[in-house]
């Protein structure tokens, strides 16, 4: 079962995998690391995603079905010592297996080439945990894509991948670094109503005249400063999530979850 080569923390392929913790190297190689059983399982069931797996003997024994899946799909599975997995992983206490994966994003042109009705745009978000959490929410709510726009963190940051709990392999992801205004123009031309989520919005999320069953692109802003006024002006509506208690606001991932599920409910509620 073990690989012919005895990998150590100094092995070239281990060093290569470790360098994927940096954004520049991920962008250059278009590769990333997926850590832990859930992420590795999803990588192995996504065509072309998993390139190779590094796993301890204990993890290999525990996750035999994954090992068999790797063999069936001709993905190299390297049985290594725990220090090799720890060297590659970004976590303090790795779970014994990690996969080197190919980027699974798509280009904006490919997304816009098909009919769209429900997408999420994250503009200039910087926290990878938030990025992963909103990708997970979008996946759960049935969104057709997540677009990380402007100067956003990349979806394949190790923390973002962990926070997505495998959803980076489920929902189409676009990383569009053009000015956000250009993207919004394209989404409007594709027939989507752009709804900017902002606490100061003049339309309430649960307002009777807000038709969330119509083709919609939700726009979420930066964690610290939200959506700039010039960008809000490009939206069809600026929508506020109502606060019924004393909390000052909702964090990005929570606000996104509420907006996405309000849309999902509207889309899945039968109309008379």
Q: What are the boundaries of each domain within the chain?
A: 12-102, 108-268
Q: How many C-beta neighbours within 10 Å does residue 93 have?
A: 6
Evaluate if residue 3 carries a pLDDT over 60.
no
Q: How confident is the model at residue 91 (pLDDT cuts 50, 70, 90)?
A: confident
Q: Please say if the pLDDT value at position 88 is more than 70.
A: yes
Per-residue pLDDT band for 5 (boundaries 50, 70, 90) equals low
Q: Is the pLDDT assigned to residue 239 strictly greater than 70? A: yes
Q: What is the pLDDT of residues 18-27, one digit of tens each?
A: 999 999 999 9
Angle at 70 between CA 29 and CA 157, to 5 degrees: 35
Three-state DSSP at 117 gives coil
How many angstroms separate the first and last alpha carbons of the chain?
59
Give how far Cα 67 sits from Cα of 78, 157, 167, Å.
10, 25, 21
- Please report the pLDDT score of residue 175 as a whole number: 97
Global pTM reads 0.92
CATH 3.40.1280.10 fits 108-268, yes or no: yes
pLDDT at 265 over 50: yes
Cβ(248)–Cβ(254) below 8 Å: no
Mean pLDDT of 150-162: 95
Please say if the pLDDT value at position 106 is more than 80: yes
Instruction: Check if CATH label 3.40.449.10 holds for domain 12-102.
Output: no
Residue 2's pLDDT band, with cuts at 50, 70 and 90, is very low
Lowest mean pLDDT among 107-111, 164-168, 221-225, 259-263: 221-225
- Give the model's pLDDT for residue 269: 82
Q: Which tokens is 100 given?
A: 């080197």
Please report how the helices 128-141 and 252-268 are oriented relative to each other, as an axis angle in degrees rounded to 10.
10
**12-102 and 108-268 agree in CATH topology:** no
């Amino acid at each position: 079962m073990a690989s012919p080569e005895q990998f150590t923390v100094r092995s070239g392929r281990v060093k290569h995998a470790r360098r994927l913790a940096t954004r520049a190297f991920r962008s250059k190689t278009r590769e990333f690391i997926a850590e832990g059983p859930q992420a590795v399982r999803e990588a192995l069931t996504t065509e072309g995603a998993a390139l190779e797996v590094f796993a301890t003997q204990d993890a290999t024994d525990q996750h035999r079905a994954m090992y068999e899946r790797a063999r069936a799909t001709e993905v190299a599975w390297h049985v290594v010592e725990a220090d090799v997995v720890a060297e590659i992983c970004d976590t303090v206490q790795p779970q014994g297996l990690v996969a080197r994966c190919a980027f699974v994003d798509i280009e904006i042109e490919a997304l816009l080439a098909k009919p769209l009705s429900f997408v999420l745009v994250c503009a200039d978000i910087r926290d990878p945990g938030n990025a992963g959490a909103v990708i997970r929410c979008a996946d759960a709510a049935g969104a057709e894509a997540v677009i990380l726009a402007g100067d956003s963190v990349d979806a394949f940051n190790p923390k973002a991948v962990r926070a997505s709990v495998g959803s980076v392999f489920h929902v189409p992801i676009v990383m569009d670094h053009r000015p956000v205004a250009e993207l919004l123009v394209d989404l409007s031309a594709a027939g989507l109503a752009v709804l900017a989520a902002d606490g100061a919005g003049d339309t309430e999320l649960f307002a009777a005249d807000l038709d969330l069953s119509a083709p919609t692109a939700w726009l979420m802003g930066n964690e610290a400063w939200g959506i700039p006024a010039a960008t809000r002006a490009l939206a069809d509506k600026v929508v506020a999530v109502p606060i019924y208690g004393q909390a000052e606001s909702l964090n990005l991932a929570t606000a996104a979850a509420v907006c996405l599920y309000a849309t999902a409910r509207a889309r899945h509620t039968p109309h008379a």
